[in-house]
């Protein structure tokens, strides 16, 4: 590998991926959580078809691609590439997008692809439209260089930004074909810089739920009830304070804590040494925020 191989990768991205990825950015294929009409609007199917057509056009030897559809669920792209040996490498990504939101710089927009220098701006290009392109292109270049590789599966779902509600059903549906992967690569994270290769080893946990406080069977005038019946908002604050400290942010419930492996602490220190103040200086905080 080395510089000549790196140049081949860069040319392949410029010649093929950048244009198609730009087209993908123009499609408003919002995740189902943000578009209740996703199934009939056609945007998700447009995105799926675009990625499938590009994959077929690469003419990678031993590659098969299909769209798997389970009833009432978002579609899933499955790419299978023949390899050598008993191992299977599973590469994961998603193609659904977050809403546009506001605050784009002048000349930029959610569904307006803009290439400035080496950076392509637009919703979904990094999270997570690049995943299929990077995966297929990597295997294609391995084959062109006659570099042996394991059997590869690429799985691209369409509901990650909604919490991946359909993914377990697809994994179960495709269990026999997936088998037992020796390596799983999740192409849906960031990197600290462009000088080193980065891998995400852990991420924050998520708990979802609904909490409501009700003190009266029916509404009363605030002039009558205030000061007599406790404020539901104050009760709510008190309940939440049992879970986490509103001053320090420390989670109080011991059941939500786990011991941190020594290796993770060592890795965190190495990351801090590599990134320095950029860990916190990257955030657009207001003046005075510490």
- Give every CB contact of residue 38 below 8 A, 6+ residues apart in sequence: 29, 30, 31, 32, 44, 74
Higher pLDDT, 159 or 189: 159
Of 96-100, 198-202, 282-286, the one with minimum mean pLDDT is: 198-202
| pLDDT band for position 206 (cuts 50, 70, 90) | confident
Give the per-residue pLDDT at 135.
96
Percent of the chain residues past pLDDT 70, beyond the cut:
99
Q: How many CA atoms lie within 13 A of 17 on its CB side?
A: 21
d(CA 142, CA 7): 14
pLDDT digits (tens, 9 = 90+) for 21-79: 999 999 999 999 999 999 999 999 999 999 999 999 999 999 999 999 999 999 999 99
Q: What is the pTM of this model?
A: 0.86
Tokens of 171: 């994994």
Helices 3-12 and 130-144 sit at what angle, rounded to 10 degrees? 130
Residue 78 · residue 42 · CB < 8 Å: no
d(CA 149, CA 139): 8
* Cα angle value 224/225/229 (rounded, 5°): 155
pLDDT at 251 over 90: yes
The answer to whether the beta carbons of residues 87 and 152 sit under 8 Å apart is: no
Give me the mean pLDDT over the 173-194 stretch: 94
The pLDDT score that the predictor gives to residue 51 is 98
Cα separation of 235 and 185, whole Å? 45
Position of tokens 């020594």?
262
* SS3 call for 67: strand
Average predicted confidence (pLDDT) for the chain: 93
Whole-number Å distance between alpha carbons of 142 and 156 = 21
Confidence of residue 279 (pLDDT cuts 50, 70, 90): confident
Residue 85 Rama label (left phi>0; alpha psi -120 to 50; beta): left
Q: Is the pLDDT of residue 1 over 60?
A: no
- Considering only CA atoms, which of 62, 86, 93 is closest in space to residue 179? 86
What pLDDT does residue 6 have?
Answer: 79
Strand, coil or helix: 226? strand
Instruction: Tell me which residue has tokens 């701006």.
Output: 121
The pLDDT value recorded for residue 2 is 53
CA angle 153, 156, 162 (to 5 degrees): 145
**Is the pLDDT at 163 greater than 70, yes or no?**
yes
């Amino acid at each position: 590998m080395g510089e000549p191989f790196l140049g081949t990768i860069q040319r392949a991205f410029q010649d093929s991926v950048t244009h198609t990825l730009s087209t993908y950015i123009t499609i408003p294929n919002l995740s189902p959580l943000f578009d209740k009409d996703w199934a009939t609007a056609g945007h998700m199917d447009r995105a799926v078809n675009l990625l499938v057509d590009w994959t077929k056009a690469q003419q990678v030897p031993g590659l098969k691609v299909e769209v798997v559809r389970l009833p009432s669920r978002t579609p899933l792209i499955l790419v299978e590439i023949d390899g050598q040996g008993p191992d299977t490498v599973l590469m994961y990504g998603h193609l659904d997008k977050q809403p546009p939101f506001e605050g784009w710089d002048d000349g930029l927009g959610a569904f307006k692809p803009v290439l400035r220098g080496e950076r392509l701006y637009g919703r979904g290009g990094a999270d997570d439209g690049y995943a299929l392109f990077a995966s297929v292109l990597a295997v294609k270049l391995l084959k062109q260089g006659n570099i042996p590789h394991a059997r590869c599966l690429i799985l691209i779902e369409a509901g990650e930004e909604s919490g991946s509600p359909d993914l377990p059903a697809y994994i179960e549906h495709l269990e026999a074909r997936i088998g037992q992967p020796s390596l799983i690569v999740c192409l849906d994270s960031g990197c600290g810089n462009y000088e080193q290769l980065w891998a995400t080893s852990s991420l924050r946990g998520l708990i979802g739920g609904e909490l409501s406080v009700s003190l009266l069977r029916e509404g009363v005038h605030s002039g009558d009830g205030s000061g007599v019946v406790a404020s539901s908002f104050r009760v709510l604050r008190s309940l939440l304070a049992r879970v986490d400290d509103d001053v320090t942010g420390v989670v109080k419930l011991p059941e939500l804590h786990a011991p941190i492996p020594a290796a993770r602490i060592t890795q965190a220190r190495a990351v801090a040494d590599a990134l320095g103040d950029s860990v916190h200086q990257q955030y657009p905080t207001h003046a005075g925020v510490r």
